[in-house]
């Protein structure tokens, strides 16, 4: 995992002043490291207990689809506005640097009862909280969250009543 940590870049004042953006995208440029990360994530108790995976737009799709294939679990997506057709369930949420909303196709959500949420990074937990509320509001269950990086000083995990598996903790 030391190699993995070195592949996380920090961009100061992005996307706005005062934000230190942690970028994990370089991980996918190293197939052997990416493969090891996915193998570890796919072994998680959270994945084993979930019927399906929900990946969050956009970097969560990269990790979620790979874990989905490795674990043999179906994957659905939580997308930003205007990206999904059909009947949707949608919720607005606040970010460290603004507001947004996420949507899930209603028919995809109806097929399963328990979900593992996957994203690239956990900061304050606003995005994951939005997805978990969408799931819970539709009488479904969140089994847990898997992220590549957790910004531990922001304590986003304290917002959740489900387990969180993080591969790397950074300040």
Contact call for residues 161 and 133 (beta carbons, < 8 A): no
CATH code of the domain containing 114: 3.40.50.2020
- Tens of pLDDT, residue by residue over 11-55, are 999 988 888 899 999 999 999 999 999 999 999 999 999 999 999
Q: Print burial letters for 4-19: b (CB count within 10 Å at least 16), e (below 16).
A: beebbeeeeeeeeeee
How many structural domains is the chain composed of? 1
Q: How confident is the model at residue 95 (pLDDT cuts 50, 70, 90)?
A: confident
Q: How confident is the model at residue 69 (pLDDT cuts 50, 70, 90)?
A: very high
| pLDDT for residue 96 is more than 70 | no
| Enclosing domain of residue 146 | 2-170
What is the model's pTM?
0.95
Instruction: Quote the percentage of the chain above a pLDDT of 90.
Output: 88
* Residues belonging to the chain: 171
């Amino acid at each position: 995992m030391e190699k993995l940590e070195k592949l996380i870049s920090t961009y100061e004042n992005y996307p706005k002043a005062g934000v230190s953006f942690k970028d994990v995208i370089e991980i996918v440029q190293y197939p052997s490291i990416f493969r090891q990360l996915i193998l570890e994530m796919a072994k998680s108790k959270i994945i084993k207990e979930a019927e399906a995976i929900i990946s969050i737009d956009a970097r969560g799709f990269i990790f979620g689809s790979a874990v989905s294939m490795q674990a043999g679990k179906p994957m659905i997506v939580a997308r930003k506005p205007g990206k999904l057709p059909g009947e949707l369930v949608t919720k607005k949420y606040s970010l460290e640097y603004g507001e947004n909303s996420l949507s899930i196709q209603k028919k995809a959500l109806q097929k399963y009862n328990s979900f593992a949420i996957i994203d690239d990074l956990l900061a304050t937990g606003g995005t994951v909280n939005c997805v978990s509320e969408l799931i819970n509001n539709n009488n479904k269950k969140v089994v847990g969250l898997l992220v590549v990086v957790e910004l531990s000083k922001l304590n986003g995990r304290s917002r959740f009543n489900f387990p969180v598996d993080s591969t790397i903790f950074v300040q």
